[in-house]
Every structure is written in C-alpha cells, then in structure tokens.
Amino acid sequence: MYFMESVLSSAFFFVLSFGILITFHEFGHYWVARKLGVKVLCFSVGFGKTLWSKNRGVDNTEYVSAAIPLGGYVKMLDEREGPVAEAELSRAFNRQPLSHRAAIVAAGPVFNFLLAIVLYWLIFMVGVEGLKPFVGEVAPGSPATAAGFQTGDEIISIGGAATPSWSSVLLTLIDKGL
C-alpha cells in the first residue's frame, strides 16, 4: 500500500513540477512576443484533449489548458501558417527583425533559468531541513549492536550535542574524534 501511495505521489509531483516549468517557459515566449508587438493567437499548456479554453484580450488570444501537461506552445501570427491581413503584417512573427525573433525564441529558456534562480534563492533564504538521523539496519555483532542501537532508533544527540540531521551527526562524530 505504501509503495503505491509513494508512486502516485511521486508521479503527481513530477507532473505538477513539469507543468510549472512548462508554463513559465511558454509564458517567457508569450510575454516577450507581446512586448515586441507580435500578435499571439494561442497560449497553450498541455497537449491532447482541451480541458479549458478562453479567448480574451485586445488580440482575442486563446488561452488553453489541455489534458496532458507535459508540453505547450505559443502560436503567433505568421505568414507561413496562412494568409495574414495587410493591416497585421507588421505584427507577424516572420516579419520581425532577427533580433526580435531571437529574443522571442530565447525567452522560454531564459524564463526557466530565472525561475531556477528565484527558487534556489528561496531555498537558500528559507532553508531546507536535513534528513533526520534514523538508524537503518543494525548488523549482528557490529559496534552499533554492542552500543544497543536498534533499527528505527533516532539519534537525538551525541555526547550532549544535538543532532537534528545526518550532517550534524557526521560533524559531531568528527568533532569528538569518534
């Protein structure tokens, strides 16, 4: 039972994490395209069956959430995709200068990189609790058996020094010369 819960929760968090990364990536393309005057026709997260869709904004951009959140795309106005009205030619992706097209293409990975910086900064500022020091298997005849350790024991302190994590256990053992 625990194994199945573990697999399901791991799969859920994998899909959730991937969905967040994809959303930020696609938002990078979308945001830069809009800032540079390119008309965005569709912003989609996921592929497969459409679960939710809404058109809004000045350009009537379609926002889509699809069933499988393991991909996405930003569809921009482009003459290579079909005819474009004369009045909107200046807003077509393929009519943009190379610098604008390069910025739009690079924006997705850049947004992912910026997200990584923000997340690492948050982890650094908030901190991450280390693994609690629980005893695993105690081999018969080992020094751990002689000391009275049993499988599942938590190491709370060593020589009066608190050990809230495995790294503190290691540092305390080194410090005490054990």
CB 28 within 8 A of CB 112: yes
Q: Exactly one of 26, 86, 137, 154 is catalytic; which is it?
A: 26
CB 150 within 8 A of CB 138: yes
Q: Which helix (H) or strand (E) covers residue 19, if one does?
A: helix 2-35
Max Cα distance, the chain (Å):
86
Alpha-carbon distance of 164 to 136, in angstroms, equals 16
Alpha-carbon distance of 165 to 135, in angstroms, equals 12
Alpha-carbon distance of 86 to 102, in angstroms, equals 24
CB 155 within 8 A of CB 163: yes
26 in catalytic set: yes
Question: Which residue, among 87, 52, 85, has the nearest Cα to 67 in the 3D structure?
Answer: 52
Catalytically active residues, by annotation:
26
